[in-house]
Chains A and B, each alone.
Chain A
Amino acid sequence: MSEKTKKPANPALIAAVKAVAVLVCICVVCVALLAVLNEVLYISDDERLARAMSKIYPDYELDTEFSADLNNTNAPDGQIKNVYRSRDGAYIIEALGKGGYQNGSVTLYVVVKSDATIFGWAVKENDKQSYIDRVPATAGKTWYVGRRVDEDLQLDMTGATVAMTSTAIYNAVKTAAWYCLNTESVKNELGLIDKVALATDVVKQLLGEEYADYKFSTANIHQNATVAADDPAEQPVKFMDLISPADYPLAYLLVGEKADSDNGIMAYVYGNEDAYEAVAVKENGTVVSTSGMEEKAELLQSITDHRVIAVKIGNQMRYAVIHSYVEDGDNVKYTVSGLKFASYPNSYILEVVVKGVDSKGTVQSVTATVSGFVSGMPSESNANVLLTQLNGATADTVLELYTSHKASGATNSSDIIAAAVLAVLNDFDAKLASGN
């Protein structure tokens, strides 16, 4: 019978096993404690709603018999999570807005009164919006308040220093408005007419069958966005002043997107729902307008001269206006304005020199003649880094450079700069392809 020899225990192994065991035990106990507390302290959706309403809509009294129509919840800029109704007829729409910082989102409770006006909103939760605390506590009682859900809700974020988070808030409010307009029962109850849909119909009719599968929505361009003046020595001018004359104001600025396309076409709608008139600019720059618009020759010229190019940056449409195109040997110098879309920063006016390399437009230099950066905002240096990094970029690589750069913090300006340069490269490539 052979004698069994006992191997000596490895003290290092024993110590390691003990260390792991202790750590695991501590984790398990902590998890158990938190699980129990979570059960006890869990805040239900109803409780969250009641808390939010106590701040913005004290008259709220939940209509328990109401059952929300949630058949269609995916809006262009967000998603409807739930809908409640107060006994006085007001709708409380829980809407998620996309397009926040790092593609995150903000979920709001938006109160829409029975007269179809927005009464207020409160934040329910957010995803990745670490600076949401900077949104003023009073914002829910001021921004967008009093606006009708069937009007073109323009950005209203006075005093916000969080451009991307504010954009997500804007999108959530727009999503709530979209729900009211696209849900038959709510639409009828609030007596709404979907004016954007009517305007879209006019635009589609104008463009014909070729554009039947385009999806139109209101363009997210800031009211104060500026573009370079005709005389470069002069101060930039307000873009809206160029396309919306005082005696013939713009009703809607629409952007049309085809599924899986990274570009969009612009449509300008004037008049009111009884008789909308429209101007549309096709991808090749051709301007078409409804009959009767010929009288507005100056306006049509202004639209033609300030052609807005819509390009997709990240998952959002951004806009740029190309002003001039000067050939200098092999190089072409563009002046382009990247349009402001959120509260900060402002429009950028860039000089972009492009050269055709291997049948592709390649950026030779990007210079900001007007920096859109707002003094006091962080990361101006990061925005300037992108200007340098775009040297050598082609239409295929702009988004790659933009994505790797954006994490550095200059989010809003990165979008504007990238959109302007991409618009230039698309234009150059189109000209190159057509032999111009």
Chain B
Amino acid sequence: MKLQRFKEIALDGTVRQNPTLRLVLGTCPTLALTTAAMDCLGMGAAVIFVLVFSNLIISLLRNVIPDKVRIPCFIVIIATFVTVVSMFIEAFLPSLYESLGMYLALIVVNCIILGRAESFASHNPVLDSVCDGLFMGIGFTLSITLMGIVREVLGKGTLFGATLWNFKIEFFAKPAGAFLTYALFIAIFNVCYNAVERKLKHKAGEQKHKAEVAAENTAAKEA
């Protein structure tokens, strides 16, 4: 894989097509689990595992799986990896398993995973698909962990379980607080994203204009 392609995939997964803040996918765990940053990291790690391995297998089998049964096949593969990660977490991280509760099993129906399988892994080579899964997972993890930090600090006065102060605004730990925080995150992220994109476009336009002027000048000199 070329470095440029790798950069594109990495940028898509974490920024340009950030599943949580740009595509608004995987909202169920985003809203439900962001009361504790540690749970967000756990969920993020689980999602990365499932995304990477399901993308890997689906990409490997993309020429074998008939189009008509692709969705059931994807679901079976995804469900298998979710069960695997669930078994691992239950065996080795029981407290995380209890905290994540039913949301761990619900990764099966997380739109990010099925979405990437359908739109990317089933059309792209293995290495690209693995990278896509990895960076999509990282994008998801970063978004929910940041949200988790904000909600945990404001709603509980703790950070990764450690008490910071006694001050807390319980609203942020409640479902309404989840919606508000999520909306603010989407708004801020998109405002920043659009501003950067405009700046980059402007910069590219300026460079193009300079190049055109230089070309004209050169042509004029030659004439």
- Interface residue from A16, A30, A137 paired with B76 (Cβ < 8 Å): A30
Other-chain residue from B72, B80, B94, B98 in contact with A23 (beta carbon distance below 8 A): B72
Interface residue from A22, A30, A130, A133 paired with B69 (Cβ < 8 Å): A22
Residues A133 and B101 in contact, CB atoms below 8 Å apart = yes
With the chains together, A84 CA to B98 CA distance in Å? Answer: 23
Could you tell me which residues of chain A, from 367 to 419, have a CB within 8 Å of some CB in chain B?
none
Known: A19-B68, A26-B73. Is A41-B88 also a contact (CB below 8 A)? yes
Is B91 an interface residue when CB atoms closer than 8 A count as contact? yes
Which residue of the partner chain, among B65, B66, B73, B84, contacts A34 with CB atoms under 8 Å? B84
Contacts of A20 in B (CB 8 A): 69
A30-B83 Cα distance, complex, nearest whole Å = 10
CB-CB < 8 A to A30: which residues of B? 76-77, 79-80
Q: Mark A223-244, 1 if CB is under 8 A from B, else 0.
A: 0000000000000000000000
Asked if B84 and A37 sit within 8 Å, CB to CB, the answer is yes
Q: Residues of A contacting B64 with CB < 8 Å?
A: 22
CB-CB under 8 A from A37, the residues of chain B are 84, 87
| A43 adjacent to chain B (CB < 8 Å) | yes
A38 to B90, CA, bound (A): 11
Is A87 at the interface (CB under 8 A from chain B)? no
Of residues 99 through 153 on chain A, the ones whose CB sits less than 8 Å from some CB of chain B are: 130, 132-133, 137
Q: Is A15 an interface residue (CB 8 A)?
A: yes
Q: Distance (Å) between the CB of A165 and the closest chain B CB?
A: 12
Q: Closest CB of chain A to B162's CB: distance in Å?
A: 17
Q: Which secondary structure characterizes the binding site on chain B?
A: helix
Q: Which residues in B have their C-beta under 8 angstroms from that of A34?
A: 80, 83-84
**Whole-angstrom distance between the Cβ of B130 and the nearest chain A Cβ:** 18
Q: Which residues of A contact B87 (CB under 8 A)?
A: 37-38, 41
**B49-84 interface code vs A (CB 8 A; 1 in, 0 out):** 000000000000100111011001100110110011
Interchain nearest-CB distance for A338 vs B (Å): 29
Contact flag A43-B66 (CB < 8 Å), given A23-B72, A34-B83: no
Does any Cβ of A come within 8 Å of B3's Cβ?
no
Q: How far is the CB of B196 from chain A (nearest CB, A)?
A: 39
Contact A26 B84 (CB under 8 A): no
- Is A27 interfacial (CB-CB < 8 Å)? yes
Interface membership of A297, Cβ < 8 A: no
Q: Residue B219 at the A interface, CB < 8 A?
A: no
Least Cβ distance of B39 to chain A in Å?
A: 11
Closest A residue to B103 using CB positions: A133
In angstroms, Cα B90 to Cα A51, docked, is 11
Tell yes or no: A326 within 8 A of B by CB: no
Instruction: Encode contact with A along B83-97: 1 for CB under 8 Å, 0 otherwise.
Output: 110011011001000
In the assembled complex, the Cα of A130 lies from the Cα of B88 at a distance in Å of: 21
| Interface residues as binary, A1-37 with B (CB distance below 8 Å gives 1, 0 otherwise) | 0000000000000011011101100110010011001
In contact, B94 and A51 (Cβ under 8 angstroms) = yes
Q: Which residue of B lies closest to A31 (CB)?
A: B80
Chain B residues near A15 (CB-CB < 8 A):
66, 68
The answer on a CB contact under 8 Å between A26 and B77 is: yes
A18 near B66 (CB under 8 angstroms)?
yes
Q: How far is the CA of A130 from the CA of B84 in the complex (A)?
A: 21
**A130: B residues at CB distance < 8 A:** 102
Residues of B within 8 A of A132 (CB): 101
Query: Which residue of A18, A22, A38 is within 8 Å of B73 (Cβ)?
Result: A22
* CB <8 Å contact, B84 and A43: no
Tell me the smallest distance from the CB of A11 to a CB of chain B, in Å. 12
Q: Are B91 and A23 in contact, with the CB atoms below 8 A?
A: no
CB of A121 to closest CB in B, whole Å: 15
Q: Which residue of A lies closest to B92 (CB)?
A: A41
Q: Please provide the chain B residues from 151 to 189 with a CB less than 8 Å away from any CB of chain A in the complex.
A: none
In the assembled complex, the Cα of A30 lies from the Cα of B73 at a distance in Å of 11
Q: B91–A43 contact, CB under 8 A?
A: yes
CB nearest to A30 among chain B residues: B80
A56 to chain B, nearest CB (A): 13
Known: A38-B87, A41-B91. A26 touches B76 (CB 8 A): yes
Complexed CA–CA distance, A284 and B67 (Å): 70
Q: A30-B77, A41-B87 are in contact. List 16 more A-B contacts (CB 8 A).
A: A16-B68, A19-B66, A19-B68, A20-B69, A22-B64, A22-B65, A22-B69, A22-B73, A23-B69, A23-B76, A26-B65, A27-B76, A30-B79, A41-B88, A41-B90, A137-B98
Q: Which residues of A contact B (CB under 8 A)?
A: 15-16, 18-20, 22-23, 26-27, 30, 33-34, 37-38, 41, 43, 51, 130, 132-133, 137
6 contacts between A and B (CB under 8 A): A15-B68, A19-B66, A19-B69, A26-B61, A41-B91, A133-B102
Closest 6 CB pairs of A and B: A133-B101, A30-B80, A19-B66, A19-B69, A41-B91, A41-B87
